[in-house]
């Protein structure tokens, strides 16, 4: 007997439109805020690629960043589709921070109906799309098994800011519910694949929290199935629509609160000093000036400076630091000979001067401080003090 296709009912369409609209409204919160929130460094990297597409030709196969100093800055990434689309909009709207974020919002709105149809076909879950938030995934992690403490932090972050505890509990329940659908184990295999990925790319998952985001649709599917099952049982037990209705309202109220509680800290403008330093360099530095912004790899200052430069001393690779003050001075002087004109520290990287005392004496005795704000410190490497 052939199964009949069940088309979307009018009520389902209206519900989907309402949920998508609500999701878009949430995603629009602080969409024009500069890249100063919890993941500013990754957003700045993607924005650099988009800006270079716009400024240097729209060749999608040659993504470039600005923190390679005098080198072209070609970088290996996932396929740079999002920054490429953003760069096309730059040609019409100019370079705006909200454009790249809007691209992900657009694909969120378009993808939700298809995801809903997928889950409805396989698990018949009605309320799952409300917790499906597709986030931008970018960057390459380290193919390395991590330590136990790091996996514990990955798990904690997954159960809180990625899923929320209530969704995690429903997901666990949904996983053990019986299913007679021939594709009923689809999401179980999907989950197994994610677990294997997290284990063997442990370092990458520890550094890049968004690597676990493929878990969100899986959790949504299982949680939706569990909620659908619970509502059916409540309806049979109480034979009243009021009890399931109150249950749904209570669930989404709790979900909304937990989402707000766990996600709010990610919007804190912790990288504001980097944003201010970048804008100050953009104001005082001549076009084409090269800058040094040492630290842990956050390119936010370089992005907003609209200049090229380096954000590592040592051997210039990610995570490299000079072993002592003498080597730090040599690194700065080597980069100065390559054309570096400014040395920039923010409030978050002033520890450099405490750790490398010799470097502090060298900079203060040889170069002029041209900007000593509360949030940043800039040395002019082209002018002796």
288 contact partners, CB below 8 Å, separation of at least 6: 307
pLDDT at 124: 47
When computed from its CA atoms, the radius of gyration of the chain, rounded to whole angstroms, is 25
CA-CA-CA-CA torsion sign (317, 321, 325, 326): negative
Q: What is the pLDDT of residue 201?
A: 86
pLDDT at 90: 94
Question: In the prediction, which pLDDT does 138 show?
Answer: 35
Query: How far apart, in Å, are the Cα atoms of 169 and each of 130, 144, 152, 228, 280?
Result: 16, 29, 17, 14, 48
**Rounded to whole angstroms, how far apart are CA atoms 290 and 331?**
15
380 forms beta bridges with 342, 368
Tell me the Ramachandran region of residue 287: left when phi exceeds 0, alpha when psi lies from -120 to 50, beta otherwise.
Answer: beta
Q: pTM to 2 decimals?
A: 0.69
The sign one gets for the Cα dihedral 335, 341, 346, 351 is positive
d(CA 177, CA 232): 13
Domain boundaries, the chain: 10-32+96-267, 272-384
b/e 170-196 (16+ beta carbons within 10 angstroms → b)? bbeebbeeebeeeeeebbeeebeebee
pLDDT at 314: 64
DSSP character string of 120-154: HHHH--SS-GGG------------S---HHHHHHH
Beta strands in the chain (DSSP E): 290-292, 308-310, 340-346, 367-372, 376-384
pLDDT per residue rounded down to tens, the chain (385 residues): 444 455 667 787 888 888 889 888 988 888 888 988 887 888 899 999 999 999 998 998 889 888 888 888 888 778 889 999 999 999 999 999 999 999 999 998 888 888 777 766 654 433 333 333 223 233 344 567 888 899 999 999 898 888 889 999 999 999 988 876 656 688 899 999 999 999 988 888 888 888 888 898 899 889 988 988 888 888 888 878 888 888 889 988 998 899 889 888 888 888 899 999 999 999 999 999 999 999 877 889 999 999 998 887 765 556 678 888 998 999 999 999 989 999 999 998 888 888 999 999 999 999 998 876 689 999 999 866 5
């Amino acid at each position: 007997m052939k199964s009949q296709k069940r088309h979307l009912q009018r009520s389902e369409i209206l519900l989907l439109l309402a949920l998508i609209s609500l999701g878009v409204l949430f995603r629009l919160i602080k969409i024009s805020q500069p890249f100063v929130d919890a993941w500013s460094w990754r957003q700045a990297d993607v924005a650099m690629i988009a800006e270079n597409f716009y400024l240097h030709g729209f060749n999608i196969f040659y993504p470039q960043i600005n923190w390679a100093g005098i080198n072209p800055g070609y970088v290996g990434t996932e396929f740079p589709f999002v920054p490429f689309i953003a760069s096309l909009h730059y040609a019409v709207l100019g370079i705006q921070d909200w454009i790249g974020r809007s691209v992900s919002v657009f694909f969120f709105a378009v993808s939700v109906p298809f995801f809903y149809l997928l889950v409805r076909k396989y698990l018949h879950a009605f309320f799952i799309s409300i917790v499906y938030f597709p986030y931008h995934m970018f960057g390459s992690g380290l193919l390395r098994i991590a330590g136990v403490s790091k996996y514990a932090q990955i798990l904690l972050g997954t159960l809180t800011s990625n899923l929320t505890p209530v969704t995690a509990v429903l997901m666990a329940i949904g996983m053990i519910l019986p299913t007679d659908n021939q594709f009923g184990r689809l999401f179980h295999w999907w989950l197994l694949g994610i677990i294997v990925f997290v284990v063997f790319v442990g370092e990458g998952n520890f550094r890049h929290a968004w690597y676990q985001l493929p878990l969100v649709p899986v959790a949504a599917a299982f949680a939706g199935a569990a909620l659908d099952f619970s509502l059916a049982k409540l309806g049979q037990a109480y034979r009243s629509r009021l009890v399931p209705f109150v249950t749904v309202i209570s669930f989404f109220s709790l979900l909304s609160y937990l989402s707000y509680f766990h996600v709010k800290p990610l919007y804190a403008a912790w990288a504001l000093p980097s944003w201010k330093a970048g804008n100050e360099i953009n104001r005082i530095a001549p076009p084409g000036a090269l800058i040094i912004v040492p630290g842990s790899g956050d390119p936010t200052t370089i992005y907003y400076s609209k200049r090229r430069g380096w954000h590592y001393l040592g051997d210039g690779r990610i995570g490299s630091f000079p072993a002592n003050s003498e080597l730090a001075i040599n690194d700065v002087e080597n980069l100065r000979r390559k054309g570096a004109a400014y040395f920039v520290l923010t409030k978050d990287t002033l520890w450099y001067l405490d750790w490398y005392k010799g470097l502090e004496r060298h900079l203060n005795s040889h170069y002029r401080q041209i900007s000593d704000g509360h949030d940043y410190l800039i040395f002019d490497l082209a002018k002796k003090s």
